[in-house]
Amino acid sequence: MKLTGSQIVAEVLLDHGVDTIFGYPGGTALNIYDELYKYSDRIKHVLTAHEQGACHAADGYARATGKVGVVMSTSGPGATNLVTGIATACLDSVPLLAITSNVPDSLIGKDAFQEIDIAGVTMPITKHNFFVNRIEDLADTLREAFVIARSGRPGPVLVDITKDVTAATYEYENKRPLPLRPDPEIRKDDIRAAVKMINAAEKPVMYVGGGVMQSCASELVQELARKANIPVVNTLMATGVMDTEEDLCLGMVGMHGSVAANRAIQHADLIIALGARFSDRVAQDTKTWGRSARILQVDIDNSEINKNVMIDKAVIANVHEFLEKAIPFVEKADHSEWRERTVSWKKKAPYVKATDCPLHPKDIMTTISEFVNDDAYFVTDVGQHQMWAAQYLHHRKPHRFITSGGLGTMGFGYGAAIGTQMAHPDHQVVHITGDASFQMNLNEVVTAETQHLPIITVILNNSVLGMVYQWQTIFYDRRYSNTTPHRKVDYVKVAEGFSIKGFRATTPEEFQDAFYQALQEDGPVWIECVISQDERVLPMIPGGKSVDDMIVG
């Protein structure tokens, strides 16, 4: 049957199980949007306030479901507004499909109105991208884009389509989605060598990253940890890999990681790195990091081997498949002395309250953890609040902590919370942000209100650019260059202007009351929490330093 290019786009999306997309229309995308109007009973399009918000929403949707998140935009500024969102997905290995519309092929290269080479712009921040100026290539290109986005190490793919292609017609043939590309086959010798290292270790520690989440291997990590009594430390992206109250879970490792996690890395004799890339936020001083340990690295991406830290043994594999094959051969172990030592570090870790402000970040996170159920999703922006959320929330399950790790994108949170809530309409979604991050994309409240999404936004307001302010306090002799903006924003009144409910809390009791009321609402809610500008994220390892230089108070 003959279909237009716009119909082909819609049909391929349906063939791949896509029922929700995010975007913003424009001139070159009109043909596609006209077709989406006709497909609205099968594909829900969520109009956001800004294309960046749409991209973050598609990203959040993907992280919360494991599916490919889809975002659409027009050409020119619409397409370039996706760049930060695409880069965010790229650095965190999120499967994302960005479909952009460009000017007609006859105008390409002629500086036409709103023409941009978005494929060239995004080449460094996509797993792959395509420029489609022939309708006969359109369907197969979109099918291939889905395969690339999900195969191996996931990532974003961009497909740029010229406007004339969206109007042209072509004989369309329904096809099943293409199979994902097979993961690298694990060599038996690699399994044997890895198991031998694990069985021989006396002080092993598992260092797990986003690859564990991407391969849905959290349960297997827990199985190995309990079988061989191996403590687990996680990167920010693997938050929730184990219940944080379990003794074997030592928490986040790295610059703002827990004392127990960082000490375990330094005293271990074997580090089992699973889907983790030894980023500079974790292995800051690569010469001293894990100095007493041999390192076994399991990763699906060969380019990550020996990239940041030199290792002793590499296994190129999907983490889930590796653990499935290795666990039966790992011996049950006691490691009682090592376990008691790591547990003591966890229990004796100092809790430092830097100020006498009535409302402290830990109070806020404790209340949130107590009031929500086990299936709640936590979505954050980037900054001090992000670290406090990682440190103090009770993380019970994997895939419930959604945050921008690699790129560290301020303004990520509201869009991502929208995508998460759209993916799981019956689950609680708590968006945790800081006043500076929130002001970047708070316009997405119009999307949340229009869609009647019961997202609770908790704004930790210290009236400064908190994380940079903290660095200026410690390392720049309190020279607060452009980190004290003196903005006078009444978030309760702003919320009312957007037709939503707003609260303000200055004490733990006020926050408990506000959060309880927020849970009763059926639409978006903001809660402003007034905290001290001098509150710090601790522990902290200064940039480029080692665990020996960790600041704990």
Q: Kindly list the catalytic residues.
A: 51, 113-114, 163, 467
CA–CA separation, 75 and 103 (whole Å)? 7
Classify the phi-psi angles of 425: left when phi > 0, otherwise alpha if psi is within -120 to 50, otherwise beta.
alpha
Whole-angstrom CA distances from 209 to 122, 151, 182, 286, 396 are 25, 18, 22, 17, 17
Classify the phi-psi angles of 322: left when phi > 0, otherwise alpha if psi is within -120 to 50, otherwise beta.
alpha
Sorted by sequence, the CB contacts under 8 Å of residue 17 that are 6+ apart come out as 67
- The residue written with tokens 């560290």 in the block is 408
CA-nearest of 188, 202, 186 to 331 is: 202
CA–CA separation, 69 and 60 (whole Å)? 8
Complete DSSP assignment for 321-361: HHHHHHGGGSPP---HHHHHHHHHHHHH------S--SS-H
User: Is 427 within 8 Å of 402 (Cβ atoms)?
Assistant: no
User: Is 411 within 8 Å of 381 (Cβ atoms)?
Assistant: yes
In this structure, the strands spanning 429-434 and 69-73 are unpaired
CA–CA separation, 12 and 147 (whole Å)? 12
171 forms beta bridges with 2
CA–CA separation, 445 and 498 (whole Å)? 7
- HEC states along 187-202? CHHHHHHHHHHHHHCC
Query: Within 13 A of 523's CA, how many CA atoms are on the CB side?
Result: 15
CA-nearest of 257, 145, 151, 269 to 204 is: 269
Q: What are phi and psi of 204, to 5 degrees?
A: -80, 155
Cα dihedral 534, 536, 541, 544 sign: negative
Burial class (CB in 10 A: 0-12, 13-18, 19+), 203: buried
User: Is 460 within 8 Å of 364 (Cβ atoms)?
Assistant: yes
User: Is 25 within 8 Å of 56 (Cβ atoms)?
Assistant: no
Helix H or strand E encompassing 494:
helix 491-497
The strands making up 429-434's β-sheet, listed across from edge to edge, are 401-402, 377-380, 429-434, 456-461, 525-530, 501-505
